[in-house]
Amino acid sequence: MEIIETIKEQIASNTVLLYMKGAPNAPQCGFSARAAQALMGCGEKFAYVDILQNPEIRTNLPKYANWPTFPQLWVGGELVGGSDIISEMYEKGELQTLIKDAVEKAGA
């Protein structure tokens, strides 16, 4: 059960957290690349966890989140969704607002 505690801690201690394959500057799949690009386009700092380097997280996070795929974006402790949702929200301008508001709230 330790890995679930690690996941909870990561989500709690990072306002904007992307679980992805690879790193934002070196993504290992197209979906992770799209998600990271959208996040970088929001202009706020974000944390990431490379699930390829963390097989326990890769195995257990889908069960914890009840979300089967990666990437997964968490903002303010809440699961936002995966690549399609992230891209759609970014195109509508909703992702920028969500992240900006969460970062401001966390800093308050």
pLDDT band at 107 (very low <50, low <70, confident <90, very high): confident
User: Which residues are known binding-site members?
Assistant: 21, 29, 58, 70, 83-84
Lookup: tokens for 92: 């509508």
- Find tokens 């097989």 and name the residue: 55
Could you tell me if 27 and 20 are in contact, meaning their C-beta atoms sit under 8 angstroms apart?
Answer: yes
How confident is the model at residue 108, as a pLDDT? 65
User: Which residues are known binding-site members for glutathione?
Assistant: 21, 58, 70, 83-84
Could you tell me if 86 and 41 are in contact, meaning their C-beta atoms sit under 8 angstroms apart?
Answer: no
- pLDDT of 23-42, one tens digit each? 999 999 999 999 999 999 99
| Residue 1: its H or E element | none
pLDDT band at 69 (very low <50, low <70, confident <90, very high): very high
pTM value is 0.96
Q: Provide, rounded to the nearest whole percent, the portion of the chain with pLDDT above 70.
A: 98
Q: Which domains does the chain have, with CATH numbers?
A: 2-107 (3.40.30.10)
- Find tokens 């800093």 and name the residue: 107
pLDDT band at 1 (very low <50, low <70, confident <90, very high): low
Residue 3 makes CB contacts below 8 A (sequence gap 6+) with 56, 57, 60
User: Which residues are known binding-site members for [2Fe-2S] cluster?
Assistant: 29
CA distances from 12 to 8, 19, 42 (A): 6, 14, 21
